Structure 1
Amino acid sequence: MTTIPAASDAQLLERFSGVFERIAAGAVEREQKRELARDAVQWLKASGFTALRVPREYGGGGATLPQFFRLLTRLGEADSNLPQILRLNFGFIEMRLESDDEAARERWLSRIAAGETVGAAISERTGSTHNTVTITPDGASGRWLLNGEKYYSTGALYADWINVTAHDGRDDVHLLVRGDAPGVARLDDWDGFGQRLTASGTTRFDNVRVEDDQILHRFKASEPRRNTIVTAFYQTVHLATLAGIARAVLRDGVAFVQGRTRTFGVPGRSSPRDNPLVHRVVGRLASLAFAAESVVDAVSAALENVQRARAEGRATADDYIALDIQVYKAQQIVIEQVLEASTLLFEVGGASATSEARRLDRHWRNARVIASHNPAIQREAAVGDFHLNGTAPNERFSLAHAKDEPPSVRDDAGERIALAESGR
C-alpha cells in the first residue's frame, strides 16, 4: 500500500478538541441521568475519529498508533465511557490491517471510513468459556442462521455492525451482523457500578440471517498460531482510558479548588488555592496523570515499532512476546496510579466534594471497572512466569485451558486471546 503522511499531532488535536469539549460538557449530566452517549458517538463518527487508524487509501485518518493513543487519552478525559464503547471498533481495524485478505480489508475498512462502527458480542455469562451461540445452515437459501445470547456486549448497542463469535457444530466462527438486522436484540442491562453508559450488557440473536461475506474467519485446529499486536492493542486502549481519567481527575480537582472560598477548620473566608496542603495534593494528582500518560506513550511507541516491523516482514515471535510483556507491566503501574489519583482527589476539599451533583466518584468507579475487565493479577503472574521460566503469555493461556477446551481454542491462542479481550 502507498503510504500517505498522516496529519501532525497539533493538527489532529485541533481537529478533535472541539468534539472532546462538547462531549465533556455533557458527561456529568449523562452520568446522572444514565443517558446513553448516542449523540457523542455520532459526533465522533461525523468528525472521523472512529476511522482514525484506517489508512488514508481507504478514506480514513491514517494516524500512527502513538497519535491515536494520545487522542484516545484526551477522549477518555472527556468521558471514559467513549473509548470503551469504541474499543472493539478500533481493535477490529487493527485486525483487518493484519489480515492478508485484501478484498475483505477494503470492504470493511471503507465502511468504517464512511462512518460505520463495529461493536462486540464475543463473551458470554456462562459457567465456562465455551461458545454457546450457534450458526447453522439455512436450508437451500445458502445463508446461515445465528442463534444465542452474548453478554459484555460493549459498544454493540451503539454500533452499525456487531462482531460475533459462534459455533457451527465443528469450528468456532468469527462473523459480523448488522446491529439493526431482524432478530437482533440489544439490551442496556449492564449493571456494573462504573462505565455505566457503555451498554456492556446482553445481545440476543434469534434466527438472524448471515451471508457468506459476513463470515470473517473459521478457527481450524490445523492452523498455526498467529502472532498479533491486537492483544496488546486492546490492553493499551484500557491504559489510555485510565490515563484520560487521571487527566480528568486533575482537571476537576483544580476546578474544585479554584472555585472555593473556604478551607475546613479556618474561620471566615480563606483561599484554598493558596493552602500548601492543597498544593501538595494537586501536585500529586498532576504527577500521577503525567506518569500514566508517559507509560501509555512508551507502550504505544512499542506497538508502532512492532506494527512497522510486521509490515516490513521482519517481526519475530520474540517481538510479539516482548510487546505483550511490556503492556502487562504497564498495566500494573497505570492501574495503581489512576486508582490512587481518583481517591486522592477528595483530599482537595471537604464533604462538598462528595456531592452527587459533582459526581466526582465516577472517576474512581470507572477506573475500577476498567481495571477489572482483564484482571491485573493474572497479567502480573504472567510477567513473573515469563521472567522466571521464559513462558510466553500465549503459551500460558493455552496451557491453562488445555484440559477443558477443544483443540481449535488451544491452537489459535493468539487470535483467541485478542477476540476474548475485545469482548470485555
Structure 2
Amino acid sequence: MSTIQSAQDADEAELDARFAPIFERIAAGSIEREQKRELAHEPVSWLKEAGFTALRVPTRYGGGGATLPQFFRLLTRLGEADSNLPQILRLNAGFIESMLESDDESLRERWLTKIAAGEVVGAAISERTGATHNSVTLTPDASGSGWRLNGEKYYSTGTLYADWIDVAAHDGTDDVRVLVRADARGVTRIDDWDGFGQRLTASGTTRFESVHVDNAQLLKRYKASEPRRNTSLTAFYQTVHLATLTGIARAVLRDGIAFAQARTRTFGVPGRSSPRDNPLVHRVVGRLASLAYSAQSITGSVARSLESAYQARLEGRATTQTYIALDIEAYKAQQIVIEQVLEAATLVFEVGGASATSETRRLDRHWRNARVLASHNPAIQREGMVGNYHLNGEPASERFSLAHSRSELQRDAVASAVAVDG
C-alpha cells in the first residue's frame, strides 16, 4: 500500500469516527421527524457544529479540506441517516464549489471563511413561472447606497435552515447573483413545499420585499446570451442527488434487515418461524444489498471523476472536453442509480407481508423520497442528451443552454423547477 493511500485511509477513518455518532443521532430521530413533519433544525445545527457544512472548504480558510470522494462518501452516509439532510445542504455544498472555481481570491476569502465559521448558504433561484427567466429585480436604492431586491422564488431548498440566501435576480440588463442575509428585513421564508417526499427540505417560497443589498453582496453578473463556461457544477449537483439516492438504498437495506431479523412469523407457515432463515427472504435481502452496492460503486466512480477534474483545473490541465465528459458520466450514472434505488425501495416490502406497511415503520418514506429526488433534473431528457452525444458528439449542456445560461447554479436549479413543476 502506498504512503498516499495509507494517508487517505487514515483521513477517512478519522472522518468516520468524527461523524458516525452524529449520523446515528440523526437516524434515530428520522421517523419521528417524518411523522410530525418536524423541520430538521437540530440535526443541521449538529452538522454545522461538527464542521460537516465546511468539509470542502480548504483548510487555509478554516475548513475541512476534504476531497470530493471523501465528501460524497460522507454525504451518502448522511443520506442513509435521513435523506432530507443532503438535500437541505445541497446548495451550500454547490456554493462552496462555485467559490473554489472562482478566480477572485477576495471573494473566496470573504465567503469561505464565513462557511468555515459555521454559516450556511441556501438558494432562491427557481420560480413557479411559465418561462425560465428571472422575475426578481435588483434596482438601485433611491438613497444612492446599494440596491433593493424585490420578487419571489420557489423551490428555494434549504433557505429556512440557512444564514445566507444566494438569489438569482435581474437588474434590467444582466442576470445577477446576490447574497442576502436570511434574516434580513424584507425576507420572508415560507414552508409551503407540498411534495410527497423530501418533506423536510423546506423547498418552498422565499419572498423579497425591498431587501437592501450592499455592493459587497453582489457575486457575479451574467449575460443571458453568455455561452457555456467550463464548470463541473452541473455534474457536482447531480452527484449530490446520486449520493442521496445511494444513501436511501443503504437505508432500505438496513431497514429490511432489521425488519426480517425481528420477525417471528412467516406468511403461510403456522406457529413461530424465522423469516431470517427463509430462502426467499435471503433472495430479497441479497438483491437489496446488491442494488445498494451498485449504486454506491457508481456514485463513487463519478466522485472520483469530479476529483480528477478538480485537480486538473488546479494544475491548469482541464479543457472543455474535461467538463463535457464529466457531465455525460454524471448523466449516465443518473439513469442507472435512479432505477436501482427505486427498485430497492419497492422490493423491501417483500421481506414480510402487510406488517411492513405499518405507519410506525414508515418504510414508504424511502420510495417517496427517492421518487422526488429522481424527478429533479429530468432523467429522460438527460438520457436523450447522452445518446445524442454518443451519436453526434454534441455536448449535453448545450441542449439546455437557453434555459441554463444564467448562472452555474441556475443551470441546475431551473431544470429542477421544470421537472417538479411539470
Using structure 2 for the length normalisation, give the TM-score: 0.95
Counterpart of 1:132 in structure 2 is 135
1:285 to 277, 283, 288: 288
Cα deviation per residue 1:306-351 (whole Å; 9 max; x = unaligned)?
Answer: 1100110010111110010000000000000000000000000011
Cα distance between partner residues in 1 of 2:43 and 2:345: 24
1:413 Cα deviation from its structure 2 partner? 7.2
1:380 to 374, 379, 383: 383
Cα distance between partner residues in 2 of 1:192 and 1:279: 34
- 3-state DSSP class of the match of 2:180? strand
Confirm or deny: 8 A CA contact 2:377 2:412 kept in the other structure. Answer: no
* 2:12 maps to 1:9: yes
Specify whether residues 414 and 29 from structure 1 end up closer, same or farther in structure 2 by C-alpha distance, changes over 3 A only.
closer
Confirm or deny: 8 A CA contact 1:122 1:422 kept in the other structure. Answer: no
- 3-state DSSP class of the match of 1:141? coil
How many residues end up aligned between the 2 structures? 411
* 2:246 maps to 1:243: yes
1:103 Cα deviation from its structure 2 partner? 0.4
Confirm or deny: 8 A CA contact 2:159 2:182 kept in the other structure. Answer: yes
Cα deviation per residue 1:353-408 (whole Å; 9 max; x = unaligned)?
Answer: 0001110000000000000011100110000110111110121112xx3xxx7xxx
1:115 Cα deviation from its structure 2 partner? 0.2
Specify whether residues 84 and 198 from structure 1 end up closer, same or farther in structure 2 by C-alpha distance, changes over 3 A only.
same
Counterpart of 1:417 in structure 2 is 411
2:212 to 201, 209, 212: 209
Unpaired runs of at least 5, structure 2: 1-6
Using structure 1 for the length normalisation, give the TM-score: 0.94
- 3-state DSSP class of the match of 2:56? coil
2:360 to 328, 333, 357: 357
Counterpart of 2:23 in structure 1 is 20
Cα distance between partner residues in 1 of 2:47 and 2:323: 31
Counterpart of 2:83 in structure 1 is 80
Counterpart of 1:323 in structure 2 is 326
The aligned runs of 1:2-401 (5 Å cut-off) are 8-220=11-223, 225-398=228-401, 401=402
Cα distance between partner residues in 2 of 1:330 and 1:223: 28
Confirm or deny: 8 A CA contact 2:168 2:410 kept in the other structure. Answer: no
Query: For residue 260 of structure 2, what is the amino acid of its counterpart?
Result: V
Over the residues paired in the alignment, what is the CA RMSD in angstroms? 1.6
Cα distance between partner residues in 2 of 1:121 and 1:330: 27
Cα distance between partner residues in 1 of 2:140 and 2:302: 43
1:220 Cα deviation from its structure 2 partner? 2.9
Confirm or deny: 8 A CA contact 2:230 2:323 kept in the other structure. Answer: yes
Larger displacement relative to structure 2 (340-349 or 124-133):
124-133
- 3-state DSSP class of the match of 2:265? coil
Cα distance between partner residues in 2 of 1:141 and 1:131: 24
Cα distance between partner residues in 1 of 2:166 and 2:120: 10
Query: For residue 387 of structure 1, what is the amino acid of its counterpart?
Result: H
What stretches of structure 1 move > 6 A for 4+ residues in a row? Answer: none
Cα deviation per residue 1:74-126 (whole Å; 9 max; x = unaligned)?
Answer: 00000000000000000000000000010010110000000000011000001
Confirm or deny: 8 A CA contact 1:225 1:414 kept in the other structure. Answer: no
Cα deviation per residue 1:192-221 (whole Å; 9 max; x = unaligned)?
Answer: 000000000000000000000101001036
Specify whether residues 136 and 413 from structure 1 end up closer, same or farther in structure 2 by C-alpha distance, changes over 3 A only.
closer
Cα distance between partner residues in 2 of 1:124 and 1:223: 21
Confirm or deny: 8 A CA contact 1:227 1:414 kept in the other structure. Answer: no
1:422 Cα deviation from its structure 2 partner? 8.0
- 3-state DSSP class of the match of 1:8? helix
1:273 Cα deviation from its structure 2 partner? 0.4
Cα distance between partner residues in 2 of 1:177 and 1:119: 10
Query: For residue 99 of structure 2, what is the amino acid of its counterpart?
Result: R
